[in-house]
Structure 1
Amino acid sequence: NARTAVGITRDGSVILVMVAQKPSAPANSGISLPALADLMKTLGADRAMNLDGGSSSSLYYNGKTFYGKVDLEGNSIKRPVKSVLLVQEK
C-alpha cells in the first residue's frame, strides 16, 4: 500500500518518506509496514513513525504535493486529509 512516514536520525535530522503506488501496477505496488521500517532504518532513522497509508497518503514539500494512490490510468487520487504533521526549521 502507499505509506507516509517520518523519522529522526541520531543527529536530529528529520526524514520524511512517502512511498507511492506505481501507475503501471496500482494494485500490486507500494510498501508493507515491515518493509517501510527497514527502509527508514536504511535511511538512518533512529526513531520513526508510520503516519498514513492508502489513498489518503500524501506529502506536501517545497510547494509541491505528492499523492500516494493512483487509479488504473495512473492519475493521482486526491482525498481530503483530516490531520497533518507540520515540520518547520527553527
Structure 2
Amino acid sequence: PDLSGLVVSNITSDTVSLSWRTGEKAFDNFIVEVRESALPTQATGRTLSGGVRSTVLTGLRGDTRYQIKLYATIGGSNTAALTTI
C-alpha cells in the first residue's frame, strides 16, 4: 500500500492539522511522531486506527519548530516515514 501526501494545515499557536492519502489497501494503524527540532531525541507519539486520514495535534508551543513524522503499520511492519517540519 502507498502512503503519501502529508499535508499540514490550520496552523495556530498551539495546534496543527495533519492529513494524508493512502492507496487502495488498508493499513492497520498510523503512528504520528512529533518532536521539537531543537530536541531531536525527545519525541511524543500517538497511534491512530488504519481508517483515519487526518488528526489534529494540540499542546504545541508557538515560535517552536517541530518535526512531524507519519508512519503506517501493516502486518507488524512500519512503512517509510513521511516527514514535515
Q: Name the TM-score, length of structure 1 as normaliser.
A: 0.28
Would you tell me which structure has more helix in proportion to its own residues?
1
Q: Name the TM-score, length of structure 2 as normaliser.
A: 0.28
